[in-house]
Amino acid sequence: MNYEVTATRKRPRTFDSLVGQEFVVASLRNSLKSGRIAHAYLFSGPRGVGKTSAARILARALNCPNGPDAEGCDDYPGSEEIARGTAIDVIEIDGASNTSVNDVRQIKDEVLFAPTTSRYKIYIIDEVHMLSNSAFNALLKTIEEPPPYIIFIFATTEIHKVPATIRSRCQQFTFRLIPVDDVKRMLAAVAGEMAVQADDDALFWIAKESTGSLRDAYTLFDQVVSFSDGHITLEKLRDKLGLVGLEYLNSIADAIAAGDGHAIVELTEEVLFRGVSVEQFTIDLAEYFRSILFIQKGIHKESILGYSPDRFSGKMLKTLTDTQVEHALELCLSLYRAIRYSMNQRFDLELV
């Protein structure tokens, strides 16, 4: 059996399996239950949060043999083809590679023909913001007054690039970033299915690193599984992916609080010797100072800090004021911008 990546294997197939998009799911279900089917939908939001999956689920629900089904209807002939994006009456188009007015004119010609086997002929246009202005203009009349069997579902990561004339003709749904706790829960479930042991800290790091994109989290998880030997730990992540690690950051923070420049230089040398890039070191250091600043401001939520507050340097929290930590954070941010054009990144890091 061919290997299937987790992001594809775990792609949502029903409304219930769309993680973190409760408002969108409730709105689409209510629309299906009431029979108020729009002729054009516009899904916007960050990458990897379920826009294309939601479009396919909606397409299956609309073409359910017993009428539009608010539960997603996943067991009729043709539903599998829709889920895979190969159905004859559900046409998926990549807006990034079909940008010209001629591509849109072809769609305008095709919509004159009724669906072959389904109730609706549905066009799912991904990355719709990549269409040219001429292509958008050519679409206007078709979107506004399509044949009764035609439905358009647009998806975009950059809603501001979609002309207002298009947006005003669509029902708009905004997809949000998926909370870290939800991503971590999904990763834990996948680890269980794959019989992979995963430490809580390691899963939390993967979830946090995905920045709200479940697809990115699954992709990173697959990479980690490949070198984890059946047990994912934060230590393995640190060594294989070139991360600084909390213990080193705490040691550096203690040295900063003590004003021990010699220890700071030695610790920096150890981190860089382990293969951590100056850029990654700067990012991790900035995130650490951000968490310290939040703790000083009374923010102790683990999903924001990345770890429980008691795992950060108590010496730095007691010694430095929030103004000093803010200054340290500003230095890290300035360093991150500067090292891209630096003659020697390490020199800049040591100077900071």
The string of DSSP letters for 304-343 reads HHSS-GGGS-HHHHHHS-HHHHHHHHHHHHHHHHHHTT-S
- CATH number for 246-351 (one of 3.10.20.30, 3.90.45.10, 3.10.450.240, 1.20.272.10): it is 1.20.272.10
Residue 72, pLDDT score: 60
Residue segments in the chain with a per-residue pLDDT below the cut of 50: none
Domain with CATH 3.40.50.300 in the chain: 6-174
Supply the pTM of this predicted model. 0.81
For 150, the token pair is 């035609």
Burial per residue of 275-284, b for 16 or more beta-carbon CB atoms within 10 angstroms, e otherwise: ebebeebbeb
Domain 180-241 matching CATH 1.10.8.60: the answer reads: yes
Backbone φ and ψ of 150, nearest 5°: -105, 135
Residue 159, pLDDT score: 93
Residue 306, pLDDT score: 76
Looking at the chain, list the stretches that DSSP marks H as alpha helix, in order from N- to C-terminal side: 6-9, 22-34, 51-62, 79-84, 101-110, 133-144, 164-167, 180-193, 200-209, 214-228, 234-241, 246-258, 261-273, 278-296, 302-305, 314-319, 322-339, 345-351
Residues 217, 186 contacting (CB under 8 angstroms): yes
Q: Return the DSSP state at 35.
A: T
Neighbours of 138 (CB within 10 A): 19
For 125, the token pair is 């246009």
Start-to-end CA span in the chain (Å): 53
Domain with CATH 1.20.272.10 in the chain: 246-351
Domain with CATH 1.10.8.60 in the chain: 180-241
Backbone φ and ψ of 316, nearest 5°: -65, -40
User: Which CATH number does 6-174 carry?
Assistant: 3.40.50.300
Distances from the Cα of 171 to the Cαs of 159, 168, 195, 258, in angstroms?
Answer: 13, 8, 42, 58
Neighbours of 289 (CB within 10 A): 25
